[in-house]
């Protein structure tokens, strides 16, 4: 009887051990939502980045397009990704040419000196059924690591890499205008440092 009990305990220990290993954190670049395989350039004509900036008296939002981008996905696992943003394509959703010009000026993104921004994927883990994407974001020649949730899906041969909304601190990238991180006595004339972003990148498999 003791041998039987010992044997059952040993089997239970093995099963628990395997379960623990199976739940270990992902260390490679991984997709959890599709088994797609893709290697090549993204479709910049259908890919878009969404932005939103806020201040005490309201908010502005709009889009900016990619200049180029590439992804490698093998059997549902992201191996690499690099995306270059064309800062000259900044658009305001309300069509304000004045705002668009201001965003392109030295006060904000200074596109004459810094015409592009870039995001390079460095790591992806599984997290609650989604991807937790980490990468290096470069704006105005300053690079910082950021993370956000995202998904990858495929439908009718089109691969879609889509993020949840995430926030980026513009002050970390020397985008100073109206920032309380750089200027005092702004009262209610300040603009929030935290900007909201999301994106939808498409490519044909």
* 68-80 exposure pattern, b = at least 16 Cβ within 10 A, e = fewer: ebebbbeeebbbe
Question: Where does the pLDDT of residue 17 fall: very low under 50, low under 70, confident under 90, or very high at 90 and above?
Answer: very low
| 4 membership: H or E segment, kind and range | helix 2-22
Segment 118-140, tens digit of pLDDT: 999 999 998 888 899 999 999 99
Number of residues in the chain:
205
pLDDT at 74: 85
What ranges make up the beta strands (E) of 46-115?
48-55, 58-74, 77-92
Dihedral of CA 150/130/122/36: which sign?
negative
Segment 45-85, tens digit of pLDDT: 999 999 999 999 999 999 999 999 999 998 777 889 999 99
Segment 166-197, tens digit of pLDDT: 999 999 999 999 999 999 999 999 999 999 99
Of 120, 121, 103, 123, the C-alpha closest to 112 is 103
- pTM score, whole prediction: 0.83
DSSP 123-139: EEEEETTEEEEEEEEEE
Q: Which domains does the chain possess? A: 26-204 (2.40.128.110)
pLDDT at 65: 98
| Phi and psi at residue 77, to the nearest 5° | -115, 125
Could you tell me if 120 and 135 are in contact, meaning their C-beta atoms sit under 8 angstroms apart?
yes
Section 92-113 average pLDDT = 98
């Amino acid at each position: 009887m003791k041998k039987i009990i010992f044997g059952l305990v040993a089997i239970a220990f093995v099963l628990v051990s395997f379960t623990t290993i199976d739940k270990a954190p992902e260390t490679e670049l991984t997709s959890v939502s599709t088994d797609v395989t893709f290697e090549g350039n993204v479709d910049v004509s259908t890919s878009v980045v969404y932005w939103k900036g806020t201040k005490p008296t309201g908010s502005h939002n709009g889009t900016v397009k990619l200049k180029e981008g590439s992804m490698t996905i093998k059997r549902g696992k992201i191996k690499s990704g690099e995306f270059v943003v064309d800062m000259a394509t900044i658009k305001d959703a309300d069509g304000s040419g004045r705002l668009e010009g201001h965003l392109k000026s030295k006060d904000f993104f200074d596109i004459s000196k810094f015409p592009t921004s870039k995001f390079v994927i460095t790591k992806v883990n599984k997290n609650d059924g989604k991807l937790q994407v980490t990468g290096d974001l470069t704006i105005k020649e300053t690079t910082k690591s950021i993370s956000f949730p995202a998904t990858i899906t495929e439908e009718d041969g089109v691969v879609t890499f889509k993020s949840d909304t995430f926030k980026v601190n513009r002050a970390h990238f020397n985008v100073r205008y109206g920032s309380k991180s750089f200027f005092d006595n702004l009262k209610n004339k300040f603009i929030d440092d935290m900007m909201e972003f999301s994106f939808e990148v498409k490519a044909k498999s």
